[in-house]
Chain A
Amino acid sequence: MPIRIHVERVSKFFALHKDRPRSFQDAVLALFRSKKHREDESFWALRYINFTVESGEMLGIIGSNGSGKSTLFKLLSRIINPSSGKVTVSGRVSALLELGAGFQPELSGRENIFLYGSVLGISREEMNARLPEIISFAELERFIDVPVKFYSSGMYVRLAFAVAINVQAEILLIDEVLAVGDRAFQDKCLDRIASLHHQGVTILLISHDLDSIRRLCSRVIWLNKGEVRMDGPANQVVNEYLAFVYATEEAKALNKKAVNQSQDSAAGLLAEADDAELPVDAGLVDSHHATKRWGSREAEITDVVLLDEQGNERLTVTTGEPLTIVIRYQAHQTIENPVFGVLIVRNDGILMSGSNTSMAHYQLDTISGAGEVHYHIAKLPLLEGRFSITAAIHNQDETKVYDYHQSSYPFSVHLGDVRERYGMLYMTDAHWSHCGSDVHAQ
């Protein structure tokens, strides 16, 4: 596949020159002013970015606000130049940065289509050929000769989207514009984007709507503070990104809490490591219950991990999919009839579920040495959120606790393909049916 976009060691540096004269008047006055206070603030919007995009790829770009996504798009569409490095783009670019930015309110929709086309460097003949399709896509047949100042905002946006998407671009940059128009039009836009993708158009998509990103893109780049944090398959990158977002939020909450109640030493320790620079899986600690551990330690829990269907360790798991909670232990002596238990607590302190081997009538006779106990969940019923696992080993009648790890093992759940999002639980194996005289549900 030919390469459409090549970004080599690109940096963009913004000087926040507060003191730069904005007028000749300032410039003259600055001659007489002392130059002591001229400290220029600056920041790196992007730093040493490297990536290539092949023809026909559909690439998602995610990252928190201020991570440099929009700056990247401005570089790709040549609105600004990089401070260093090189951006090579081959092919006609159509950028949906801000819909209808170039529209003239006094001119009719038709005239604006030609004007907008010419802004993108497209000849009048070519636009003429596309005109019917644009008008029908925008559903504006009746209003196309009305000045756009009389358009409703929905009509305006539909027209802008229709023009930008119908100009036969080889590269399409879409920046957070999918949330426009009504639901039907949104779906139509998404369909069109998908069909353009099938026609081989290279598409770059910025969105905070991670579900759309996951659905549309095969590859995702995650930008963090102007650097490429991760570049890979969509699901993997989105998962890591979500885990990071949760971790950062939690660490922030923890930090706040530590300031509020400074006696909490565990939180205090974590707070030092905070300030949003935490590595992806270091900060996944529940904020509501401080982790506590007690027990006589004849047998110890050495670790608790979550495994997905394929047996991979996960910190982020998916609603409705199989999950195995593994408790690893080390028994220092032979213990008769131990009971292993887990509790799942949401980060706001709500106990979601609890189970132990005794309740499940799973009898363990004796344990000694190292081993693992597995708790299998066929379809995870938790909806999106952050949770933590409490794991314990105790004796049969709960009079003796060998080891108890309270809220020590955090994890997040995201929805994946599940469409339900209300409440806390996903009703696995639930279904709908209909009884009536003349309607037949499919």
Chain B
Amino acid sequence: MLSSLRELYQYRGLLANLVIRDLKVRYKGSVLGFVWSLLNPLLLMLVFTTVFTVMVPNLAVPKYPVFVLSALLPWNFFSSSVASSITSIVGNSHLVKKVYFPREVLPISVVISSFVNLMLAFPVLILFIVFSHIPLTINLLYLPIIMLAQVAFTIGIALIVSALNVFFRDTGIIMEVVLQAWFFMTPVVYPLEMLPEWRLLWGIMVPVRRITYILNPMASIIASYRSVLYGNSYGAAPLAPAPDFLARTVVTSLLVLVVGYWFFRRQNHRFGEEL
């Protein structure tokens, strides 16, 4: 494990090149390329704001655009990373079959370039925060920790799905549905506080909110972002996430990363002949 990490470090140049290539292709030949990549979350923000403040107003979340955008940007980073990492190995089969390099470079580079995208979009979010008269607090210093946790978690998932797709080519189709469901199961467009503490389902009392936190690391990650950027849905100013909550989130994310990396390394010697 340690030697493969050292090897990964040795190939950091390739990682950087792949990220640059990806960004170059994405923003090919236009300043508009960057605007286009912002357009999607902004339009979605507009749609959700219309739906949940005009059409279904009983959500009653103050400053809804910031509320939704502060969760939507991290979510988009996650879902676009996962979606494009699925084909990262198969799509580069011409390389994988011809040259040796640590294969994990491919999904990791996809995640990093999506992360660069997130960073580029963040100033726009900050603008929205300022215009909505939400104070920028010292709690923003938590952002690097939260982001690192999310990157770790995302890389873990990306490693798993990219390897799975080598062996099962319909991984992409399945993940499309999974990501859609995941989006609605994660408190992105609605506040977590909306979830009932307990709910009777088939005669059993189910702790819905707790289960969401425990089974869905994205819920914790999104909640942390929102907490330091926006506050809570009752109109409170941005606040620090509870230390034990943050610690659990970070540990879970690192665990997913380790499991994903372990799984990937176990399978990757078969890529050369499966493709």
Contacts and interface: CB of A to CB of B under 8 A. Distances in A.
A106 B170 CA distance: 28
Interface string B1-31: 0000000001101101110010011001000
B76 interface: no
Interface stretch (A91-99, A327-335, A341-349, A385-393): A91-99
- Interface size classification for chain B: 20 to 34
Given A98-B94, A121-B10, 9 more contacts: A22-B169, A24-B171, A78-B100, A79-B98, A101-B95, A111-B21, A115-B17, A123-B13, A124-B13
B168 A79 contact: no
B58 to A, nearest CB: 40
Interface in B87-116: 94-101
A354 interface: no
Given A21-B168, A23-B168, A101 B17 contact: no
B211 interface: no
- Interface size classification for chain A: 20 to 34
A97 B98 CA distance: 6
Contacts of B14: 115, 118-119, 121
Interface string A105-142: 01100010011011111111000000000000000000
Given A80-B269, A118-B11, A121-B14, A23 B94 contact: no
B272 interface: yes
A101 B100 contact: no
Interface in A67-110: 74, 77-81, 93, 95, 97-98, 101-102, 104, 106-107
15 contacts: A22-B167, A23-B169, A24-B168, A24-B170, A24-B174, A27-B168, A79-B98, A79-B99, A80-B272, A101-B97, A104-B21, A106-B25, A120-B99, A121-B14, A122-B13
B21 A102 contact: no
Closest 5 CB pairs of A and B: A118-B14, A23-B170, A101-B98, A80-B272, A78-B100
A118 B168 contact: no
Contacts of A77: 99-100
A25 interface: yes
Contacts of A121: 10-11, 13-14, 101
A118 B13 contact: yes
Interface centre among B25, B100, B168, B174 (most CB of A within 10 A): B100
A71 B170 CA distance: 29
Contacts of A102: 94-95, 98-99
A120 B95 CA distance: 11
A167 B17 CA distance: 17
A119 B169 contact: no
Q: Give the interface SS of chain A, mostly helix, strand, loop or mixed.
A: loop
Contacts of B11: 118, 121
B3 to A, nearest CB: 13
Interface centre among A25, A115, A118 (most CB of B within 10 A): A118
A14 interface: yes
Contact of B21 (A80, A81, A115, A124): A115
B21 A107 contact: yes
A22 B168 contact: yes
Nearest to A77: B100
Given A25-B170, A27-B168, A80-B269, A118 B17 contact: yes
A405 B101 CA distance: 62
Nearest to A99: B98
Contacts of A119: 14, 95, 99, 101
A93 B174 CA distance: 39
Contacts of A25: 170
B21 to A, nearest CB: 6
Given A79-B100, A95-B99, A101 B94 contact: yes
B273 A80 contact: yes
Nearest to B273: A80
A111 B22 CA distance: 13
